[in-house]
Structure 1
Amino acid sequence: MMNERFMTILGWLATFTAVCMYVSYLEQINLNLNGVKGGLIQPLATAINCCLWFCYGLFKEKRDMPIIFANSPGVVLGIIAFLTAI
């Protein structure tokens, strides 16, 4: 059985790596704004997926802060990447 401390550390490590992944959208947003348009589907799917996970973490009986923090940048940056790619 996994102990609670290990699961907490694992959750925050996963949060850190998820945020790093979503921050990579900054480069795509910059390219979009400079005329090198990227695809629309991936950032839109990211925004929707992260929004669902954000809501899941927020509305659980006991809020799941790693899930909320991990998916917040994906919602914002996914939407921005989508809008700048239009």
Structure 2
Amino acid sequence: MNQKVFKILGWVATCTAMLMYISYFPQIMNNLHGNKSGFLQPMVAAINCILWVCYGVFQEKRDWPIIIANTPGIIFGALAAITAL
């Protein structure tokens, strides 16, 4: 795979990962309205995203697609887990 295609693939994957974590928003809203859901899955997702962001940040050359893709997972995963309690 040439470098240009590989870079495009990375950014497309970044966008889809962000959408996956932003999709927690309806769950957060339901939790806030009293329709509680499980907290375990979003909590584990937030922890996973923290680890990936650390991985991306501490690379010799920062891996921005990984950092950007997983930052919403920290925020929305944590919010979904907290509001489910």
Task: Classify the TM-score, shorter chain.
Answer: over 0.9
Length, aligned pairs only: 85
Aligned positions of 1:6-85 closer than 5 A: 6-85=5-84
What's the C-alpha RMSD, in Å, of the aligned pairs?
A: 0.6
Runs of 4+ in 1 over 4 A off after TM superposition: none
1:35 is paired with a residue whose SS is coil
Cα distance in structure 2, aligned partners of 1:9 and 1:26: 27
TM-score, normalised by the number of residues in structure 2: 0.97
Q: Which runs of 5+ in 1 are unaligned?
A: none
Cα distance in structure 1, aligned partners of 2:17 and 2:10: 10
TM-score, normalised by the number of residues in structure 1: 0.96
State the percentage of identical aligned residues. Answer: 56
